[in-house]
Amino acid sequence: MQKNLVIVESPAKAKTIEKFLGKDYKVMSSYGHIRDLKPKEFSVDVEHDYKPEYVIPKEKKALVAELKKDAQDAEQVWLASDEDREGEAISWHLYEVLKLKPESTKRIVFHEITKTAILHAIDTPRDIDINLVNAQQARRILDRIVGFELSPILWRKVKPALSAGRVQSVAVRLIVEREREINAFVTESSYRVTAEFILPDGTTALKAELARRLKNKQEAMEFLEKCKNATFSVSDILTKPVKKSPAPPFTTSTLQQEAARKLGLSVTHTMMIAQRLYESGLITYMRTDSVNLSNLALETAKEAIINTYGEAYYQFRQYHTKSKGAQEAHEAIRPTYIANVEIDGEQHEKKLYELIRKRTIASQMADAEMERTTISINMNGSIERFVAVGEVMKFEGFLQVYLEGNDDEEESEQENGLLPPVILNDVLKLNTATAIERFTQHPPRYTEASLVRQLEELGIGRPSTYAPTIQTIQNREYVVKENKEGIQRTYSILKLSKSKIKESAKTEVVGADRGKLMPTDIGMVVNDFLMEYFPLVMDYNFTANVEKEFDAVAEGQMIWTKAIDNFYKTFHPIVESASAVKTEHKVGERELGVDPKSGKPVFVKIGRFGPVAQIGAHNADDKNAPKPQFAPLRKGQSIETISLEEALKLFDLPRTLGDYEEKTVVAAIGRFGPFIRHDGKFVSIPKDLDPLTITLEEGIKLIEEKRIKEAERFVKSFDEEPEMQILKGRFGPYIAYKGENYRIPKAVLDPGQLTLNDCQKIISEAAKGVFSKEKTAKGAKTTKDAVAEEKTPVAGKAKKRTVVKKTPAKKTAVKKITAKKNV
């Protein structure tokens, strides 16, 4: 009989913990939740206190049976899932499903996976906190109610297969409203004036800026004219010390923001890497609202700072969590051993660990001390003044280690380093003065990091929900993360030099964005529909208040069914009312005008595969009436901003370019973008060519290039089985047969020598499970979908299979992320 069974939720975590416990302990993984609400059913009994109907997924039944057997054989069961609400719920489900007994079951928690922390947890067990469990249940059930009641309405009113969520819908609203702010923004210009003065010694230059912006070119010209004969003198010299303090250690949201700014990581990728570091025992728990550091961490940080930089660089700081209901853990994200300067592991793991360590160290370091000097320069006979600002570092303090990033995109003001020495009332000679036209900037689009910050400021979501929320709205194609090309803009420059004013013009590219979150047409239409019919769900304060109620449940101050009931009694009647509303047009449909050729109305709307333009309307009463014409919108076009003229141009496609090899060449746009069709085959049109203007010669070139690629890809075909081919893929040779792809075993050194029987045998063995059958990966392009692209599902599936088959190897890889001590 096994004396002790420890159950955690992750195999990597199990592997790390196993190293710290003796032979009397067996550590097993539940691989996350072992049961959940039924995936395709409502699973909430509204009539009986919102009782959830949980089910063990088919793929977890064997694991549950194994856990149950080992739990029955053990003298003591230790439930060691994470210490947040999700982890508490996992432990509770294990307790219920495995039918554990209270006298032989203990709950242990720890916020770092170190030997000291694990042994301390064993010495100080507790019971399952049912309040935390109920808070998790409340969130899960409320989100199920919203999803299951709202989604069918979206299917009927907008487009099939859409879905809505409580937090996700509010996140989409933020992005939609920001995009509309940008579209409505009217740029205003002004002139920024900078000048270079010569000090009384005749050689030293001092740069300064006019204290205000001038409204227009005329005002700028008039000001420069006044400067020609003006006298300038130093009217004030102000020197004052400035201190800059370090940022607190990382919480979940600040880690996600900094990893995005400094490492270019998405919030999802950041959390995956952080999870691996945590499970390897290298950092503390990564889902936390707290900025607190333990006494041990404070002492080790102090030791590291004094030993490396000296006592002058150390300053004790105790940070306190500001957010109400900080739920997740009791400490900030920090290295488990601050003395470990580096770790072994993948590049991103090393970089994220370094970021966490530096932030932790910096939080306990002295302020940076600077001296800021401001020189004011008066212009005789005028109230105008120029200002020169210089800043000199006196003591680096924490900046020796770390400087927090920011998302500000505004133009930085001119700032010098060390300013030259000047004396009050010194008369200065104006060398040059330049007035440059500048423009107001529209509000910045959200990045993943800035969206996390905004959600946190509004009190929407919690550390465990930020990454899934942002991933979900992108998966549902309500929001895309992409680049936007800028446009050229001309600006004016007026320069005064040697008593002459010269005017010139330059161009700049503005409005370019990289990796920003932008709403899709579907996202905008769904947002507008929800805003009109479900304003309560979309209200920022309401969503934040729901989070507060979850916090109250977690603290035992509110019964979870009461929180659900408060919501449901308000929400359900709105659902029934919205479901009964009949509209003349489909939600999101916009009439642009009339087609001058046919006299029929022109609409844009959300179609089955996305936004489309439509000429003519359906006539259900007349079966012989001509059907409407449809054309998909092009990338960069939106149903919200497209004009009638732009929509009508879409119907110029498909467009016949001419004949090649006695076959017609046609340019068109399909579901996956613009393409050329010739002799039943398709070739993608690249971004630098337009299907509306592409020539026959350019089309022929694309056809020939594709043929060359296909010839390089082709290995072998069989006359007796025309549907079977051996092809080369990015990840090696494979067999393509009847729309399916099959990996050729590595033992086959020359795929070209395979016979038809050999290929049939490979396919047969794959069906039996000897080799995995290479079905098209979900979301990958199939032969039908791809437009002149290599069939990549093989590669995608092969990669996926490797991950699934090599779970033990993956554990080992995680185990190998080890720390290097500073010697």
What is the rounded CA–CA span in Å between residue 568 and residue 437?
56
Show the tokens assigned to 281.
Answer: 């025992």
Alpha-carbon gap, residue 243 to 394, rounded angstroms: 10
* Structural tokens at position 809: 């190897």
Copy the structure tokens of residue 157.
């009113």
Query: 405, 406, 277: which is closest to 333 by C-alpha?
Result: 277
Contact 446, 516 (CB under 8 A): yes
Catalytic residue among 285, 309, 446, 478: 285
Helix intervals (H) in 555-685: 560-580, 644-649
CA distance 164 to 523: 10
Distance of CA 481 to the CA centre of its chain: 7
Residue in this structure with the two tokens 């992005």, named with its chain if needed: 175
CA gap 3, 78 in Å, rounded: 11
Distances (CA, A) of 184 to 242, 468, 690: 39, 31, 28
| 735 within 8 A of 742, measured Cβ to Cβ | yes
Residue 750: CB partners within 8 Å, gap ≥ 6?
none
Pick from 657, 591, 598: nearest CA to 629: 598
Residue 281 φ/ψ region, left for φ over 0, alpha for ψ in the -120 to 50 degree band, beta for the rest: left
DSSP assignment of 516-585 equals EEEE-HHHHHHHHHHHHH-HHHH-HHHHHHHHHHHHHHHTTSS-HHHHHHHHHHHHHHHHHHHHH---SS
| 3-class secondary structure, 351 | helix
Coil, helix or strand for 92? helix
Percent of residues in the chain assigned helix, strand, coil, to nearest 5: 40, 25, 35
**Closest of 252, 300, 260, 270 to residue 111, by C-alpha:** 252
Helix (H) or strand (E) holding 278: helix 267-279
Task: Give yes or no: 191 in active site.
Answer: no
CA distance 506 to 709: 44
For the chain, the maximum distance between any two Cα atoms, rounded to a whole number of angstroms, is 100
Tell me, what DSSP letter sits at residue 249? P
Rounded Cα distance, 354 and 821, in Å: 13
Which of the 8 DSSP states describes residue 398? Answer: G
Q: At what angle do helices 267-279 and 448-458 cross, to 10 degrees?
A: 80
Residue 88: strand, helix, or coil: helix
Taking a C-beta distance cutoff of 8 angstroms, is the pair 460, 543 a contact?
yes
Distances in whole angstroms, Cα of residue 160 to Cα of each of 154, 605, 633, 711: 7, 14, 19, 41
- The rounded distance, in Å, linking the Cα atoms of 279 and 10 is 8
Q: Tell me the angle at which helices 466-475 and 252-263 cross, rounded to the nearest 10 degrees.
A: 60
Instruction: Find residue 726's DSSP bridge partners.
Output: 716, 735
Q: How is residue 778 annotated by DSSP?
A: T
What's the CA gap between 444 and 462, in Å, rounded?
Answer: 24
- Could you tell me which of 709, 715, 667, 664 has the C-alpha nearest to residue 689? 667
Angle among Cα 154, 156, 158 to the nearest 5 degrees reads 55
Helix runs in 383-506, H state only: 448-458, 466-475
> Which residues are annotated as catalytic?
285
